[in-house]
Copies of this chain bind each other. A is one copy, B any other.
Amino acid sequence: MKMELTKEFADRLQLMVESGDSMAIMEELQDLHPADISDILEALVPNESKFIFDLLDKEVSAEVLMNFDEDYRDRFMKLLSTEEIVEQVDNLETDDAADLLGEMEEEEKDEIISKLEDQEHASEITDLLKYDEDTAGGLMHKEYIKAKAHWAVDRCVIELRRQAEDVERVYSIYVVDKDDRLLGILSLKSLLFAEPKTKIEELYNKEKLHFVKTHEKAEEVAEMMEKYDLVSIPVVDRQEKLVGRITIDDVVDVIKEEAEKDFQMASGISENVESTSGVLKNTRSRLPWILIGLAGGVAASQIIRGYEGQIDVNPSLAFFIPLIVATAGNVGVQSSAIIVQGLASKNFQFSGIFKQIGKETLVGMLIGLICSVVIFGINLAVGGEYLLGLTISISLFVVVICAAILGALVPLLLDKVNIDPALATGPFITTANDIIGLTIYFMVAYFMYL
């Protein structure tokens, strides 16, 4: 059932491409889902996969194209002529077509739209291109089914049959008034079981109507569909007229990208990069945080230089620099991660910043205390210098509390001023805590060895 792609299969296919054996290729691919064909083609270089791509049904190849990784699609598109792109766009659903065209130059866009056969399709795509891709308008498509409230069931079924030709999957029917204003939602189930002469306005669900407006943010749409367990949601314009539909599969991508973005930011990766991205893109996405970390390291070196006298007096102090900075970093990263996740799932709606900071302080005190006791115990056990052990333990306690508070505070403050709090996770927090941790360590040492 599930498609397992093997290296052998990819190699075999490559041989078929080299010998130009179209029949054998079609035989291999005919029962596969377009998403599987995309995976297979991605294992070949674009020139080879283009040979296979040209053999596919136009409807299948359009889906294969949209299932490619973004990087691979960019490379692949360079092999297609304008006419070939027009042919693909003709077969794409409106939202996919708009996404594909959105990546192109303005002139190329206009040329392709002007060459589309289906005028209605062309104007729908043009409409979708108006919207920012991170809004409901950018996510929606034009393939949905609507019924007027004053229709009877039998007329509705006839009208729907005509509309449904273009709509691959029908989850529900949107009920509108004469001016196309959204009134409610009618399930296929209730239509199926209704009497032919019943009016639609008696059947549809008027309560708890969920919809979004075109300018709402993609993440808000995702939150709403997730919270209310919706499979599709109608989109209206500022006059509340029905203009599109968003389905859950597009929103799943938004949810995943959002989660991946947080993970990447927490790992110090500044632009979206995949394991398949090239060496240069990979390096470029990683360099900013490394350089910021490097600047932090230089700053830390100056702090230590400021306390050089103490290291001269007691060189052992230098041994525990990594312990202090690593613990500060680790605790800070944990705090910021918990806060960022809490903000993402809107857990702080009723409780203020102070409550969260208070809790992090308590957690920090507990972790700090345990760390201090452990280190003090180890020092005693190995017969280390008493004063040094005390210095490290006291520093650790203070450093852990500060790191926990800072790790929680920075994302909460960023969120207040509408900056993505995930910025404050990972390297940023680690670098800040390194510097603060070292300062505390040497200040404590200064007083201990006074």
A interface residues with partner B (beta carbon < 8 Å): 1-2, 5, 7, 10, 31, 33, 35, 39, 43, 69, 157, 160-161, 164, 169-171, 187-189, 191-193, 207-208, 210-212, 220, 224, 226-229, 231, 247-249, 252, 255-256, 259-260, 262-264, 266-269, 273-276, 279, 282-283, 286-287, 289-291, 293-294, 296-298, 300-302, 304-305, 308, 311-312, 315-316, 318-327, 329-331, 333-334, 336-339, 341-343, 345, 347-350, 356, 359, 362-363, 366-367, 370-371, 374-375, 378, 425-427, 430-431, 434, 438
Contact = CB atoms under 8 A, between A and B. Distances in A.
Given A10-B350, A260-B259, A283-B366, A319 B304 contact: yes
Contacts of A321: 304, 318, 321-322
Given A274-B341, A321-B322, A5 B349 contact: yes
Contacts of A319: 300-302, 304-305, 308
Contact of A311 (B255, B287, B318): B318
B249 A229 contact: yes
A297 B290 CA distance: 22
22 contacts: A1-B212, A2-B224, A10-B350, A31-B207, A43-B349, A171-B231, A188-B188, A188-B189, A259-B260, A263-B337, A264-B337, A275-B341, A275-B345, A275-B348, A275-B356, A290-B371, A291-B370, A294-B327, A301-B322, A305-B316, A321-B321, A330-B427
Contact of A308 (B229, B315, B356): B315
This chain: copies in complex: 2
Given A266-B263, A275-B339, A294-B371, A192 B193 contact: no
Nearest to A269: B334
Interface of chain A: mostly helix, strand, loop or mixed: helix
A160 B327 contact: no
A333 B267 contact: yes
Contacts of A324: 297
A171 B286 CA distance: 44
A252 B249 contact: no
Given A255-B255, A322-B434, 15 more contacts: A2-B224, A7-B349, A31-B207, A191-B192, A255-B256, A263-B337, A267-B334, A267-B425, A269-B337, A269-B338, A297-B320, A298-B378, A305-B316, A311-B318, A330-B430
